[in-house]
Amino acid sequence: MSLDRLYLDLLDEAPTAPPPGGRARLLATAAARRRPAASCVSWARPYAGRVAAMDAVFASATAWDVEIVEGWNLQELLGHLTAKDGLVAAAVGAPVHGPPITVDEPMARTAALHAHERSRSLLETRRSWRDQADALCHALAGADPARLITPGGLPLPVGDQILGRALETWIHTHDTAVSEGLNLPRPTAGELHPMAGLCARLLPVTALMSGLEAGNRSIRLTLTGDGGGDWHLPLLPGAPSSVYDGQEVALSLRADAAEYCFVLGGRGADHVWEAEGDLSLAADLRAAAPGLSGP
Partner 1 sequence: MDDHLFHRRVVSGDESALGELYDHFSALLHGLALRVTRDRVAAEDITQEVFATFWERPLGFDPARGSLRTFLATVAHRRSVDHVRSEERRRVGALAPRLFERPHDLEEAVVAADEVERVRQAVAGLPDALRQVIELAYYGGRTYREVAVEIGVPEGTAKSRIRLALRRLAETLNEEAP
User: How many chain residues are in contact with partner 1, going by CB under 8 A?
Assistant: 52
Contact call for residues 247 and 232 (beta carbons, < 8 A): yes
Q: 3-state class of 171 per DSSP?
A: helix
SS3 assignment, position 231: strand
| Cα 252 to Cα 282: distance, rounded to the nearest angstrom | 8
Q: Which of 171, 163, 233 is nearest to 201 (CA)?
A: 233
Q: Which of residues 2-21 bind partner 1 (CB under 8 A)?
A: 2-19
- Are 277 and 211 in contact by the 8 Å Cβ rule? The answer is no
Site for partner 1, residues 52 to 111, rule: CB under 8 A: 52-53, 55-57, 59-60
Query: Binder to partner 1 among 69, 91, 167, 177 (CB under 8 A)?
Result: 177
Instruction: Tell me whether residue 29 or residue 216 sits nearer to partner 1 (CB atom).
Output: 29
Q: Which of 42, 183, 216, 280 contacts partner 1 by CB under 8 A?
A: 183
Reduced to 3 states (helix: H, G, I; strand: E, B; else coil), residue 177 is helix
Q: With CB under 8 A as the contact rule, which of the stretches 22-30, 71-79, 139-147, 276-284 interacts with partner 1?
A: 22-30
Among 108, 122, 178, 182, binds partner 1 (CB under 8 A): 182
What b/e string do you get for 181-197 counting C-beta neighbours within 10 Å, with b at 16 or more?
eeebebbeeebbbbbbb
Considering all CA atoms of the chain, what is the largest pairwise distance in Å, rounded to the nearest integer?
69
Give the footprint of partner 1 on residues 233-272 (CB under 8 A). none
Q: Does 141 bind partner 1 (CB under 8 A)?
A: no
Helices (H) and strands (E) in the chain, counts: 10, 7
- Quick one: 5 or 215, whose CB is closer to partner 1? 5
Q: What is the nearest approach in angstroms of partner 1 to the Cβ of residue 159?
A: 19
Closest CB to partner 1 among residues 55, 256:
55
Closest CA to 139 of 74, 92, 75: 92
Cα(79)–Cα(250) distance, integer angstroms:
43
| Closest approach of partner 1 to the CB of residue 277, in Å | 33
Binding mask 187-206 for partner 1 (x = CB under 8 A): xx--x---------------
- CA neighbor of 186 nearest in space, from 201, 176, 173, 198: 173
**Residues 29-48, mask of contacts with partner 1 (x by CB under 8 A):** xxx-xxxxx----------x
Residue numbers at the binding site for partner 1 (CB under 8 A): 1-19, 22-23, 25-27, 29-31, 33-37, 48-53, 55-57, 59-60, 177, 182-188, 191
